[in-house]
């Protein structure tokens, strides 16, 4: 078999595994949107079987043989070619997967489905003890995974690498320390400002059916294709890129808070636009996959915050919002609305946090995850550790676990190592937006006229179409000419809040 034949066989096998994985994605979406509570045990069995089958396809001896036949051939001599990129990334995934016992892969899939159902019930009932046994199982399995994959410095590195290839706990610690050092005094200065927004205007009656109308309109306006996607309701919003032509986003509604769902929809639509912008001709291969979760998060945070909380966006959208919610916004001025949606105030819930304090929520979770995986923190002690750290960082103590350690779905779904990518996304978003403004000097005028396609097209060309051609840091250098830095985000926040608060 020639190298070309081996490469064709390799791609066929990888695509088949991707199709099977997308079947699991449909079941995962259904589990979080439609599944009745009593169906979680059987869904766990379904997911476990699919996980095992996908894993077996990915580690089949024929995959290793095809990789060996292609590597070193002329097909991959130029590292920039499509074949070289695919082979590099398939090799990375293969080497990781062959280290994982089939039993562990299957058990993780089974346990996390049950754990997610338990988490949902525990969160609703504010009952951490009922969730604790499942958290203990998940942490034990993730520690086993870390040791199976292997690491040099910290077991957390093995888990982080799944979401942010090449990143390490030590690197994340350094980045977070630099960012926190500048955020803490900024947040303090804002807190001391005498200028405070009137946020009551955001907590009036906003009928859910009307929230859906304007949220859907906003998602479509910025580029989410509803011909290839849909919007549904769930407990913890997410985006699921199931495959070409099928991207599903979700939100949750609160009739007393219009902006919760609105910004949530913008956020998930940003994820969805990335998924819809990946090159279809490479679907099922690394070139048709997203670069990293940090880059994925940059797309959601860019639309939610860099665009969605800015004046130019609302110069177009506020008149529409006032028409939709006439009784609640009739007498509200644009300046007052902008100040309200950009309030900085320490709060308990991460997904409702403002741009300035949000990253401190991530630092807290990152530190707890490091301790859990290292074995320095027992799952049973998470509530106390959470509350102690929260008090130290925010000056607040959560009144209950529902507003504390039970608020996020990630640990129940086995997503340990996922949280740092949120802050990485904020950093990348600020840096990408700086470059977009440089390349597209009329961007704010476009936003004022409701024209978001120039930015969407720029992102598609620069961020989406490359797929996994480059690592996240390399992509950042190619797009912006600079390595990732916390300074663009800090400068953006200082500029925004300095103007609002005079600090």
pLDDT, tens digit, 9 for 90 and up, residues 2-58: 999 999 999 999 999 999 999 999 999 999 999 998 999 999 999 999 999 999 999
> Would the pLDDT of 503 be above 80?
no
Query: Minimal CA–CA distance to 54: which of 90, 98, 17, 91?
Result: 17
Q: Which of 89, 162, 268, 275 is catalytic?
A: 268
Distance of CA 372 to CAs 379, 388, 460, 488, Å? 7, 16, 38, 32
268 tagged catalytic = yes
**Backbone dihedral angles phi then psi of residue 246, each to the nearest 5 degrees:** -145, 90
> Would the pLDDT of 377 be above 90?
yes
pLDDT digits (tens, 9 = 90+) for 171-199: 999 999 999 999 999 999 998 999 999 99
pLDDT digits (tens, 9 = 90+) for 418-438: 999 999 999 999 999 999 999
Average pLDDT over residues 471-484: 96
Take residue 101 and report the two structure tokens written for it: 């016992």
pLDDT band of residue 235 (cuts 50, 70, 90) is confident
CATH of 169-501, one of 1.10.3080.10, 3.40.50.300, 2.60.40.10, 1.10.1370.30: 1.10.1370.30
Distance separating alpha carbons of residues 405 and 503, to the nearest angstrom: 33
| pTM assigned to the model | 0.93
Query: Minimal CA–CA distance to 414: which of 164, 141, 169?
Result: 141
Average pLDDT over residues 107-121: 94
Residues 6 or more apart whose Cβ sits within 8 Å of residue 350? 358, 361, 362, 365, 407, 408
Residue with tokens 């799952």: 379
Task: Decide: 29 and 233 in contact? Cβ < 8 Å.
Answer: no
Task: Decide: 492 and 430 in contact? Cβ < 8 Å.
Answer: yes
Query: Minimal CA–CA distance to 96: which of 53, 152, 55?
Result: 55
Average pLDDT over residues 129-154: 97
> Would the pLDDT of 72 be above 90?
no
Mean pLDDT of the chain: 96
Alpha helical stretches, state H, 34-101: 40-58, 61-70, 82-97
**Backbone dihedral angles phi then psi of residue 242, each to the nearest 5 degrees:** -75, -35
Q: Dihedral of CA 157/162/165/167: which sign?
A: negative
pLDDT at 258: 87
Average pLDDT over residues 389-411: 96
> Would the pLDDT of 502 be above 90?
no
């Amino acid at each position: 078999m020639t190298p070309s034949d081996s490469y064709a066989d390799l791609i066929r096998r990888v695509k088949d595994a991707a199709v099977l994985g997308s079947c699991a994605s449909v079941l995962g979406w259904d589990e979080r949107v439609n599944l009745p509570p009593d169906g979680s045990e059987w869904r766990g069995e379904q997911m476990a079987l699919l996980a095992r089958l996908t894993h077996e396809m990915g580690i089949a001896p024929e995959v290793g043989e095809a990789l060996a036949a292609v590597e070193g051939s002329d097909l991959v001599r130029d590292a920039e070619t499509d074949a070289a990129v695919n082979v590099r990334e398939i090799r990375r995934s293969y080497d990781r997967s062959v280290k994982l016992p089939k039993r562990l892969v299957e058990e993780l899939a089974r346990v996390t489905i049950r754990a997610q159902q338990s988490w949902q019930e525990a969160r609703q009932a504010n009952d951490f003890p009922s969730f604790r046994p499942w958290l203990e199982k998940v942490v034990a399995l993730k520690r086993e995974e870390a040791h199976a994959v292997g690491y040099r410095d910290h077991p957390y590195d093995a888990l982080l690498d799944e979401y942010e290839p090449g990143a390490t706990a030590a690197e994340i610690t350094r980045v977070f320390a630099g960012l926190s050092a500048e955020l803490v005094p900024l947040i303090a200065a804002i807190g001391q400002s005498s200028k405070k927004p009137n946020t009551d205007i955001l907590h009036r009656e906003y009928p859910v059916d009307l929230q859906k109308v304007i949220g859907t309109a906003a998602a479509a306006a910025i580029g989410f294709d509803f011909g290839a996607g849909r919007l549904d309701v769930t407990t913890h919003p997410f985006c699921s890129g199931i495959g070409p032509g099928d991207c599903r986003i979700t939100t949750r509604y609160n009739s007393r808070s219009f902006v919760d769902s609105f910004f949530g929809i913008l956020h998930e639509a940003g994820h969805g636009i990335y998924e819809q912008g990946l090159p279809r001709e490479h679907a099922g291969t690394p070139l048709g996959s997203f670069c990293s979760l940090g880059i994925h998060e940059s797309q959601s945070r860019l639309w939610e915050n860099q665009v969605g909380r800015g004046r130019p966006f609302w110069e177009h959208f506020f008149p529409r919002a006032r028409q939709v919610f006439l009784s609640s916004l009739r007498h509200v001025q644009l300046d007052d609305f902008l100040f309200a949606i950009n309030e900085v105030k320490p709060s308990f819930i991460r997904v409702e946090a403002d741009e300035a304090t949000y990253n401190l929520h991530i630092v807290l979770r990152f530190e707890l995850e490091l301790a859990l995986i290292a074995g320095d923190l027992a799952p049973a002690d998470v509530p106390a550790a959470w509350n102690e750290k929260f008090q130290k960082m925010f000056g607040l103590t959560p009144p209950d676990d529902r507003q504390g350690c039970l608020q996020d779905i990630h640990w129940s779904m086995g997503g340990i190592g996922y949280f740092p990518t949120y802050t990485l996304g904020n950093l990348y978003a600020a840096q990408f937006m700086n470059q977009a403004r440089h390349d597209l000097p009329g961007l704010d005028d476009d936003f004022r006229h409701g024209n978001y396609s120039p930015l969407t097209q720029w992102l598609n060309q620069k961020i989406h179409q490359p797929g996994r051609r480059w690592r996240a840091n390399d992509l950042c250098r190619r797009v912006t000419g600079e390595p990732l830095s916390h300074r663009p985000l800090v400068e953006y926040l200082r500029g925004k809040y300095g103007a609002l608060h005079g600090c």
